[in-house]
Structure 1
Amino acid sequence: MNVRQAINIEDVRDCARRYLPRIAFDFVDGGVDGEAGLERNRVAFDRWRLLPNYLVDVSCRSQKVTLFGHDYDSPFGISPMGIAGFFRPGADLMLARAAAQMNVPYLMSSASCDSIEDASAVGRKTTWFQIYGTRNPEITMDLIRRAKALEVPVLLLTIDTPVMAKRERNIRNGFTRPMKMTPAVILQGLSRPAWTMRYLRNAGIPMMENWRPYAGEGADANTVADLYGTQTPAPEQTWEVLRRVRAAWDGPLAVKGVLTPEDARRCADLGADGVIVSNHGGRQLDHAPASVDMLPHVVDAVGDRMEVLIDSGIRRGSDIAKALCLGAKATLFGRPAMFGVAAGGQAGAEKVIDIYRQELSLVMGMMGWTSLGDASPERLFDLMNPVAPNTGGPKAARAAE
């Protein structure tokens, strides 16, 4: 199947599985430890049922949303993902162009292969920038300086990676630094000739362009990757990192990787404009709660003080609708976009966005929604805390306990 023929996100994933060698596919698809977190992210959405209202004129439906003062055409965007260029050369810019074309946010990772300068050039209004705190804080400050010079719409600080997790698929496949071309890896490459030819034409491991300036003149891709590995993660970080980032950045600032009301309130107190409720797509702490399980608690804690977004496990338009009902301003997804761009380039990324957009439009029509403002807790039925339809929702269920 060609990715353009895909009718849902699982089809896109299957296209990527057929295109990528296992070592690459598993890097994107996998989680950590026993991968319980991956399953939990999906199952958690099944707790909620959508309650429709009928006999409503839904001939005109709008998905438009304003995030941090900027207008977008749908309430979702692409999560930050590192080393996208390994899966298809130029993937970061393809994602940036696709997001700009469809007018949704693309959250570029500082661990990308293409640079934030190049991404902003092709999607200035839609390209956000994600950073980590680094062992050398001057690098973090310089990344912020570059983002300010480009007038990046939103800066994100990811806080949920104090140490690198045990990603067992990567260990089994040999996706480690330095990467060794074992017979098994070579055989995988031979079984996926289209990917392998692109990889070889681009001289193997791609350059991490955002980090090239910090590795010294003439540094090759391996040297830059090694530098990145020595600077992140930075386990000695504290809330002082957020204070410094807030002081250095005068635009909208969101903190990614928040799972508790306590941390969300701390982010608000330190001046963040938003939080992204996320368990890193099940790629960090395997037994962390699903993001959607914590979303209503975070919304209750800070929803009146800052914008709350969510990622991890979003695979259907109905997932987006449920998250909006639970108080999220918007949702984000990572793996589907990576699968799309890997299998089909920019067209594949646009296909993923279109699938989500069309599915959400259908759900809105069946729910009786003409705009996102119609989403509310009352449009959900909670299987774990059942209350009378159309009179309850997360807050009512908790009040009844």
Structure 2
Amino acid sequence: MRRVISISDLREHARRRLPKILFDWIDGGAGDERGLRENEAAFDAYRFLPRYMLDVSQRTQRKALFGKTYASPFGIAPTGYAGLFRPGADLMLAQAAEQAGIPFIMSGTSVSSIEDAAKLAPNSFWYQLYAAADVEITRHLIGRAERAGCQVLVVTIDIPIAGKRERDLRNGFEFPLRMTPRLAWDGLCHPAWTLAYLRTGGLPVMQNWALYAPPGSSAIEVAEFANTHAYCVQTWEHLKLFRDLWPGKLVVKGVMHPHDATMAMRLGADGIYVSNHGGRQYDRSVAAPSVLPILREIVGPDMPLMMDGGVRRGSDIFAALCLGADFVFAGRPTLYGVAAHGSWGAEQAITILRDELGNLMGQIGCLDLEQGNLGLFLVSMMKAQAQLASAMFPEIRQEGL
């Protein structure tokens, strides 16, 4: 564990512990995985322009969102089936977020229940709504989130149909996970995961969905029932209904197009969440970081704008803030951590990102993330000379230097 110093280390530890079929489900994307890679590459296109001769001994990462101040400007994005990769992983992630003072978005395909996670993270708990084909189930899920004290409801709109994830197809992955000779051999090659899986009774029950499946359903039958409600039709009329049902803050996740951002705002969304589902839905998606400046212009300065996709470093978080995001979420980093090392791994993933962000702020002279235009720290490598001339020189002239 002492050798875990980066998110890539946690990724490698998760790869070693998990059967290949499960690691590839976490790690992979759709098609040729261009969308997955280009989310990360979009951050690589930027560099930071530092300011020196400043006292950087006192820096703060605190960031306000929806009237609440969080300890850092990032949170844990929803990651489905986490409890399959390590028993109790959803609750470990919730508790790690609560301890760190950052938001945790529970996946709509979690294993643990809304109620159990909310108890562990009373100040940090958000819930991702995957609408069910039966609107009464959706109504009940929203009611449960409200009664549990959920801070924010995150309505996800970017999975109209199943993506073609070729790693999963080649591995024969399906959920519910069924024992096959290939999986049995894979499990024998990864005894730590297999022993934990068997010790806790095998396939975990999706507790949020167990309430709606036929009485006495097994874990497999609950998962099969949940699958019958996946990829149901959603329209703007559904968002109107969710807005009417939910009394608190509502965020629309999966927004990439300016038209969708405008529609979500018209229908009462309190925040816009930019995401291409981590490159897991289709292969030729525009990179999520690339649309941040466009959507910031569309939604205006006061609408909370969030994003996920491609975040692997604290510097990625800062770049997203410079590009117009108010808050950033990371999914795979904490999922790698919890899958590899349980609670410690989830906490370590948060610590790594927080430390890298704090170090960068000190290196470039950013004392407070709530200060003026963070974009002045950012330079696109594609247009570096033009940006320096048009953005930096006017600032200098205004200062009378």
TM range (shorter): over 0.9
Give the C-alpha shift of residue 34 in structure 1: 1.0
Matched residue, 1:296: 293
| Contact 2:63–2:370 (CA under 8 A) maintained in structure 1 | no
| Contact 1:381–1:392 (CA under 8 A) maintained in structure 2 | no
Corresponding pairs, count: 391
How do 1:6-85 residues align onto structure 2 when only pairs under 5 Å count?
A: 6-85=4-83
How do 1:34-183 residues align onto structure 2 when only pairs under 5 Å count?
A: 34-177=32-175, 179-183=177-181
Give the C-alpha shift of residue 391 in structure 1: 4.5
Residue of 313, 331, 345 corresponding to 1:348: 345
SS of equivalent residue, structure 2 residue 234: coil
Identity across the alignment (%):
48
Structure 1 stretch displaced more, 365-374 or 11-20: 365-374
User: For the residues of structure 2 that align with 1:382 and 1:135, how far apart are their CA atoms?
Assistant: 44
Residue of 279, 284, 296 corresponding to 1:282: 279
Letter in 2 for 1:225: A
| Contact 2:250–2:270 (CA under 8 A) maintained in structure 1 | yes
1:359 aligns with 2:356: yes
| Contact 1:291–1:311 (CA under 8 A) maintained in structure 2 | yes
Structure 1 stretch displaced more, 93-102 or 371-380: 371-380
| Contact 2:56–2:366 (CA under 8 A) maintained in structure 1 | yes
User: For the residues of structure 1 that align with 2:323 and 2:387, how far apart are their CA atoms?
Assistant: 17
Give the C-alpha shift of residue 67 in structure 1: 1.4
Give the C-alpha shift of residue 222 in structure 1: 0.9
SS of equivalent residue, structure 1 residue 315: coil
Matched residue, 1:399: none
TM-score (normalizing by structure 1) = 0.95
Letter in 2 for 1:382: S
Letter in 1 for 2:92: M
Deviations 1:209-262 (A, max 9, x none): 11111103222111111111110111x221111100100011011011001111
Letter in 1 for 2:237: E
Give the C-alpha shift of residue 384 in structure 1: 2.6
| Contact 1:378–1:391 (CA under 8 A) maintained in structure 2 | no
Give the C-alpha shift of residue 154 in structure 1: 0.6
Letter in 2 for 1:352: A
| Contact 1:377–1:392 (CA under 8 A) maintained in structure 2 | no
Matched residue, 1:392: 391
Matched residue, 1:250: 247
User: For the residues of structure 1 that align with 2:389 and 2:85, how far apart are their CA atoms?
Assistant: 46
Unaligned runs of 5+ residues in structure 1 are 397-401
User: For the residues of structure 2 that align with 1:304 and 1:196, how far apart are their CA atoms?
Assistant: 49
Give the C-alpha shift of residue 132 in structure 1: 1.4
| Contact 1:94–1:346 (CA under 8 A) maintained in structure 2 | yes
Structure 1 stretch displaced more, 198-207 or 351-360: 198-207
| Contact 1:51–1:379 (CA under 8 A) maintained in structure 2 | yes
Give the C-alpha shift of residue 43 in structure 1: 0.8
User: For the residues of structure 2 that align with 1:180 and 1:219, how far apart are their CA atoms?
Assistant: 16
Matched residue, 1:314: 311
Structure 1 stretch displaced more, 81-90 or 182-191: 182-191
User: For the residues of structure 2 that align with 1:307 and 1:215, how far apart are their CA atoms?
Assistant: 36
Letter in 1 for 2:192: A
RMSD over equivalenced CA pairs, Å: 1.5
Give the C-alpha shift of residue 135 in structure 1: 1.1
1:273 aligns with 2:270: yes
| Contact 1:257–1:276 (CA under 8 A) maintained in structure 2 | yes
Matched residue, 1:373: 370
User: For the residues of structure 2 that align with 1:140 and 1:270, how far apart are their CA atoms?
Assistant: 18
Give the C-alpha shift of residue 10 in structure 1: 0.3
Deviations 1:124-146 (A, max 9, x none): 11011001122111111111101
SS of equivalent residue, structure 1 residue 200: helix
Deviations 1:70-121 (A, max 9, x none): 2210000110011111000000000001000111111001210000100011
Residue of 329, 341, 351 corresponding to 2:326: 329
SS of equivalent residue, structure 2 residue 64: strand
Give the C-alpha shift of residue 183 in structure 1: 2.3
User: For the residues of structure 1 that align with 2:30 and 2:65, how far apart are their CA atoms?
Assistant: 31
User: For the residues of structure 2 that align with 1:381 and 1:390, how far apart are their CA atoms?
Assistant: 11
User: For the residues of structure 1 that align with 2:325 and 2:176, how far apart are their CA atoms?
Assistant: 40
Deviations 1:342-369 (A, max 9, x none): 1111111000000000000001001101
Structure 1 stretch displaced more, 83-92 or 175-184: 175-184
Unaligned runs of 5+ residues in structure 2 are 396-401
Letter in 1 for 2:339: A
Q: Aligned pair in 2 of structure 1 residues 390, 208: CA closer, same or farther (>3 Å)?
A: farther
User: For the residues of structure 1 that align with 2:349 and 2:156, how far apart are their CA atoms?
Assistant: 24
Letter in 2 for 1:69: G
| Contact 1:378–1:389 (CA under 8 A) maintained in structure 2 | no
Q: Aligned pair in 2 of structure 1 residues 178, 363: CA closer, same or farther (>3 Å)?
A: closer
User: For the residues of structure 2 that align with 1:121 and 1:34, how far apart are their CA atoms?
Assistant: 40
Letter in 2 for 1:260: H
